[in-house]
Amino acid sequence: PYDVLVVGGGPAGASAAVYAARKGIRTGIVAERFGGQIMDTLGIENFISVKYTEGPKLAASLEEHVKQYENIDVMNLQRAKRLEKKELVEIELENGAVLKSKTVILSTGARWRNVGVPGELEFKNKGVAYCPHCDGPLFEGKRVAVIGGGNSGIEAAIDLAGIVKHVTVIEFAPELKADSVLQERLTSLANVTVIKNAQTTEITGTDKVNGISYKDRETEEIHHIELEGVFVQIGLVPNTEWLDGIIERNRLGEIIVDKRGSTTVPGVFAAGDCTDSAYKQIIISMGSGATAALGAFDYLIRN
């Protein structure tokens, strides 16, 4: 069996695997797609000490770093579908193989919920963005829309209003769902417009985004706004459905961890965007991957 088996090959999983391997213990890493979300990311400017890099380049560095350790088995293009705690922890893969390990680190990440309108996929990274902390500065002085009036949408709108020329918030429901302090802050900003009861129907553009269309749900009229960017903020979904009923998760589906990365199942740890960490970023995921690996090592020497 493995001493540490990491499930997920994004920044959190790669960091956990390197930290585990450096303890000289038998480590495995299973990933559906090595690199994770950064494979879909163009410019990265907030990975501290690296002024600028691109997602696929960072993913290649992660893989190179992991593969430098001979005591790490890398199993790419494999999806885990079941976890069971017996004497050891068992992970069953979609191909039927069952891997056994003394400890497991779950780092299966998350995915942004898409709005699913024409133009969204076509203009991803060409004006359609999901992360205001990451991509906000790319729209300095430009006009953007934020789709979604929940807490993340309104936080994004407030954040972006300080950088861009104008922000339009588009909310499907007749009312914003964000906390009232955020709504108050938002209404105090001069360069923000809020459109409620509006269904986004299309993100338009040529080689990049040039506007957004929405339907007024009361009058059924279609309106079009000219702008340069669209931030989709309708939720981040953790890739934890397969753990339902086995590991405690919060109402968002995020795995609940303590300060050592431990979950409610002894010997099972978690790190990165699949957990209930307050913020989801590369540098934060890597830090929590390191924490979970050290937590797992601590568990091994005590059990």
Q: Which is nearer to ligand FAD, 57 or 223 (CB)?
A: 57
CB of 59 to ligand FAD, least distance (A): 9
* 7 lines the binding site for ligand FAD (CB under 6 A): yes
Under rule CB under 6 A, residue 204 binds ligand FAD: no
Is residue 229 part of the contact set for ligand FAD (CB under 6 A)? no
How far, in Å, CA of 41 to CA of 214, rounded?
27
Q: Is 12 annotated as a binding residue?
A: yes
SS3 labels along the chain: CEEEEEECCCHHHHHHHHHHHCCCCCEEEEECCCCHHHHHCCEECCCCCCCCEEHHHHHHHHHHHHHCCCCEEEEECCCEEEEEECCCEEEEECCCCEEEEEEEEECCCEEECCCCCCCCCCCECCCEECCHHHHHHHHCCCEEEEECCCHHHHHHHHHHHCCCCEEEEECCCCCCCCCHHHHHHHHCCCCEEEECCEEEEEEEECCCEEEEEEEECCCCCEEEEECCEEEECCCEEECCHHHCCCCCECCCCCECCCCCCECCCCCEEECHHHECCCCCCHHHHHHHHHHHHHHHHHHHHHC
Taking the complex as a whole, the smallest distance from the CB of residue 129 to ligand FAD amounts, in Å, to 7
Nearer to ligand FAD, 7 or 198 (CB): 7
Q: List Cα–Cα distances, 286 to 183, 184, 212, 269, in angstroms.
A: 33, 35, 35, 14
299 near ligand FAD (CB under 6 A): no
Nearest to ligand FAD of 35, 198 (CB atom):
35
**Window 262-291: residues binding ligand FAD (CB under 6 A):** 272-273, 280-283, 285
Pick the closer one to ligand FAD by CB: 75 or 212: 75
From 20, 31, 230, 234, residue interacting with ligand FAD (rule: CB under 6 A):
31
Q: Does 230 bind ligand FAD (CB under 6 A)?
A: no
104 binds ligand FAD (CB under 6 A): no
Is 146 annotated for ligand binding? yes
Per CB under 6 A, the list member of 6, 18, 62, 110 interacting with ligand FAD is 110
Q: How many binding residues for ligand FAD (CB under 6 A)?
A: 38
80 near ligand FAD, rule: CB under 6 A: yes
Closest residue to ligand FAD, based on beta-carbon distance: 109
Give me the residues that bind ligand FAD (CB under 6 A), please.
7-13, 30-34, 36-38, 40-41, 44, 46, 79-80, 107-110, 112, 130-131, 134, 239, 242, 272-273, 280-283, 285
- Give binding residues for NAD(+) as ranges: 143-157
